[in-house]
Amino acid sequence: MKKLIALLILGILLIPSAFAEVRTSVSVGTVVVKKPYERGLQVIHCDWTSTAGGAVTVAITGLFGTVERAAFAPVAAASPSTNYDVVITDLTGYDILATLGANRSATAVENVVPKIATVVSSATTHEKVVTGGTLSLAITNAGAAKQGKFTLYVSN
């Protein structure tokens, strides 16, 4: 019986991300966030509306894993300004989109797969970005009261 209890406790400790809850808080702009969890993939979907200053700021906590893809889509009725910017920074200030959120289209749906350059013994490779903890999503230069959709896919 003691071994069974020990194995159960160990199992729970080894898979904390399966029980983690992703949370968001909006400090600038308006955002509706949907957080489905499908087949080992965490999907953060934000429907956003910018402030009069053209900005949106969201804190995302509890998101751990490898960034697989980010998608950007303008809303036709109130599309953002051309070349609006999306940055997601971790606690160290690193942009997990690897600058690929810059200069987004006001008319087209766009997808990016962020990768980080790693240099080992003078050889450069590009690896997917791993993230965890608290992230800060910032949308800027969108124009006043503009709307868009942003989706982030993170695998465990």
Domain regions of the chain by residue span = 21-155
The per-residue pLDDT for range 38-89, each reduced to its tens digit, is 677 888 888 899 999 999 998 888 888 999 999 999 999 999 999 999 999 9
In degrees and rounded to multiples of 5, residue 54 shows phi and psi of 80, 25
In degrees and rounded to multiples of 5, residue 108 shows phi and psi of -105, 150
pTM of the model: 0.78
The per-residue pLDDT for range 20-34, each reduced to its tens digit, is 455 555 555 556 666
Report whether pLDDT(7) > 80: no
∠106-109-114 over CA atoms, to 5°?
A: 105
Assign a CATH topology to domain 21-155: Jelly Rolls (2.60.120)
